[in-house]
Structure 1
């Protein structure tokens, strides 16, 4: 199986208690993010993918979760790294209509149903924190 690294941005609106999610054309709802490109760090990938998918510029904070999975139909062994992130600037805009159907702030209960692989739900992501360092 081919190894694929995927970086996601977990962006939580503290006031509204909602999570920013994107509806991908082929695979449903997820956090903004995607595959890490060759020569790109995990952090750079999360920032780039969020900008491409939502038009928002973000600042990465800490790692909230690490998940992995085997996708035999695609021949992938995927490692998913979810970063906590904050919006620095920008207005939400759907830039790639060929890839993304919708961008929406989603309440916690609905987000938990859309991300059942986080067993502690959004609440666990809010509490979780691991440092991230690129060592060059």
Structure 2
């Protein structure tokens, strides 16, 4: 199985109690992020991916979760690293409409429904306890 590293950024607005999520063309809602390219660190990939998907410049704060899954038919074993990040510049906008359909601030209940693989939900992640989940074989 081919191993693949994927990074995601959790951008949380404490006042509104919402997170930024992106709707990927043909793939549904996720946190902004994507695959780590050869020669990149996780942090470098995360900053690049968030910028490409949301036009936001972010600063990486801390690792919140590690998830992994085996995609049997695709013969891929991705590891997903979710980091808390904060916005340092720019306004939200879609830069690549062929990849991203929509960007929204989503309340915590809706975010939890869209991301059930975080065992204690987004609030659990924000408490700073590192979460690990094996999502099984698919």
**Both structures adopt the same fold (TM-score exceeding 0.5):** yes
Q: Kindly indicate whether the alpha-carbon contact (under 8 Å) linking 1:65 and 1:128 is maintained by their aligned counterparts in 2.
A: no
Partner Cα distance (1:52, 1:74) in 2: 25
TM alignment of 1:84-103, pairs within 5 A: 84-103=84-103
TM alignment of 1:1-136, pairs within 5 A: 1-129=1-129
| Structure 1 position 74, deviation (Å) | 1.9
Q: Kindly indicate whether the alpha-carbon contact (under 8 Å) linking 1:66 and 1:81 is maintained by their aligned counterparts in 2.
A: yes
Taking structure 2 as the reference length, the TM-score comes to 0.92
Runs of 4+ in structure 1 deviating by more than 3 angstroms, as ranges, are none
Taking structure 1 as the reference length, the TM-score comes to 0.93
The 3-state SS of whatever aligns with 1:9 is: strand
Give the structure 2 partner of residue 133 of structure 1.
none
| Structure 1 position 14, deviation (Å) | 0.6
Partner Cα distance (1:72, 1:6) in 2: 17
| Structure 1 position 73, deviation (Å) | 2.5
Which consecutive residues of structure 2, in runs of 5 or more, have no partner in the other structure?
Answer: 131-138
The 3-state SS of whatever aligns with 2:45 is: helix
Partner Cα distance (2:67, 2:35) in 1: 14
Which consecutive residues of structure 1, in runs of 5 or more, have no partner in the other structure?
Answer: 131-136
- Aligned-residue Cα RMSD (Å) equals 0.9
Give the structure 1 partner of residue 134 of structure 2.
none
